[in-house]
Amino acid sequence: LCWRFVEYPYFIVSFLYPSQLALPKICITSSYFAGDMSNTGKFLDSAPHLPAAGKVTAVPDESTKVCVEPDIHNERAETPSSIKKYRKSFNQDPGIRVVHHGVADDEKKDHLLHGVTTADGERVGEVIAPSKGIPEIIAYLKEKKEAEYASNVREPLGKTYSRGHRLPEKTANPNFAYGKSSGEVDPVREIIYPPGSDDGSTTHGMYVKSHGNYNPGEQRSRDYRWDNANIDPKNHRFGMVDQAPLPNGVAKALNPEKDEEKPASSSIVSKKVEDFKRVKNDELGKSKRYGYEDIGADDRVFGMPTRKFDDEWGAKECMTGAYGEGEQDPDADLGKSLKAGWRNDTTTDRRFGCPSIREDIPPPRFKSVADNQNYGGEAQAAELLYPSSHAATGVHENDFLVFRSKEEIFGVFTASGAADGKSEEEMEKAWEMASSVRPDGQVSLDIYRRALFEIELQSSY
């Protein structure tokens, strides 16, 4: 019996065979191990008459091994040639000529040479080895001529410079060496680090004497003869031990007030000196004293009052006033004229002055150039700052809102070119749609334009 659900084999077997919880041998096959790792045929099938449960969905090249090691089993896709020229790796391969991506697709001309062709002269090989390739007789004659030069005689080719010195015959010996043998000496290593069984005390003493290199916490030794005085410098302490030590002695010496055991000291000084200090010196947080006695009462005010009477005005009354409620009421002539003949008795709906737009009078049939009155047909500030797209051709926006006949509207659209590419059926259909907008059936250029635009949208879907 083959099952794909390997996580719950015991549950499936107990469901099919409730009386036999222990089956002989079960073949478990999973699509997870499909392909070469399948267990088919490795176990005994105890129920060959039953079909296998599940379905093997083995997909080639999608096993667990391939998914875990994709770089080994899957070939990496190459970069398209149209994109490869823009990558840095395009020009980083060894032996590849660096080519700009702008000329990467151009026709390659390997035979193209740059520069100017010069006339043939002496070649490098002939300059370096002039006797190569020439007859031997000519080379011999040339060498004989070169031998006459002093530089060739003094410095022959392949030999050292000869200064004419005559050295002793012993210098011809290959084993000859200059100088005098010094014999056997101590090597440098033993001089710097001498061998021996020194525990370091001798070396440390040398560094103390030469460099003053003491160890941390080491007592300095000046080679005093302590034996004559019966003193052990390692355990002896100099000075006298105080039997009753005083704690915080330095702090109490600097600030005697911290010493609680010391009684308060009093000194008798001259009063004139203290009075002088009180007047001369400034105390922090206090006003300076000038020798006057204390006044005693805190509510005492110095100086002479400025008001002699109780009802006399002061600075407050001068600023805020002291009027009664009746005196503070508005004047009787506030907002109206008390002079006869100057009162304007009118209703609240009446307006005074001349309006800027003269809609109260009929406009003239032909307006004069000198007439600066606005009869309601002038353009407003918004229209002057942001004119319509048809203002340059003399067409006003109100012209699109005027109701017109069918023939007139068709004529305007045909003459302006707005109906180009539109059939008569579309024009008639747009007219029927525009006529149904208003109850009276009247149509303007704006209504017809919207209906025609709606027809175009319906035909585009």
Q: Determine what percent of the chain is predicted with pLDDT higher than 70.
A: 81
Question: Looking at residues 31-39, what average pLDDT do you find?
Answer: 44
**Rounded to an integer, what distance in angstroms lies between the CA atom of residue 226 and that of residue 232?**
7
Angular region, 128: left φ>0, alpha ψ -120 to 50, beta rest? alpha
Question: For residues 403 and 445, is the Cβ–Cβ distance under 8 A?
Answer: no
Question: Looking at residues 160-175, what average pLDDT do you find?
Answer: 83
Element (H, E) at 434: helix 424-435
pLDDT at 296: 58
- Of 398, 439, 443, which is closest to residue 427 (Cα–Cα)? 443
Residue 274 has pLDDT above 50, yes or no: yes
Q: List Cα–Cα distances, 154 to 105, 141, 149, in angstroms.
A: 63, 20, 9
pLDDT at 34: 40
pLDDT tens for 181-205 read 877 777 888 777 767 656 677 788 8
Residue 295 has pLDDT above 60, yes or no: no
Helix axes 406-416, 424-435, angle to 10 degrees: 130
Query: Structure pTM?
Result: 0.24
pLDDT at 59: 66
φ, ψ of residue 301 to 5 degrees: the values are: -120, 135
444 forms beta bridges with: 403
121 compared with 431, residue with greater pLDDT: 431
CA torsion 160-161-166-167 (nearest 10°) is -40
pLDDT tens for 114-142 read 788 877 777 777 777 666 667 788 878 88
pLDDT tens for 335-386 read 777 776 676 666 667 677 888 888 888 889 888 989 988 888 787 888 888 8
Angle value at C-alpha 263, between 261 and 264, nearest 5 degrees: 135
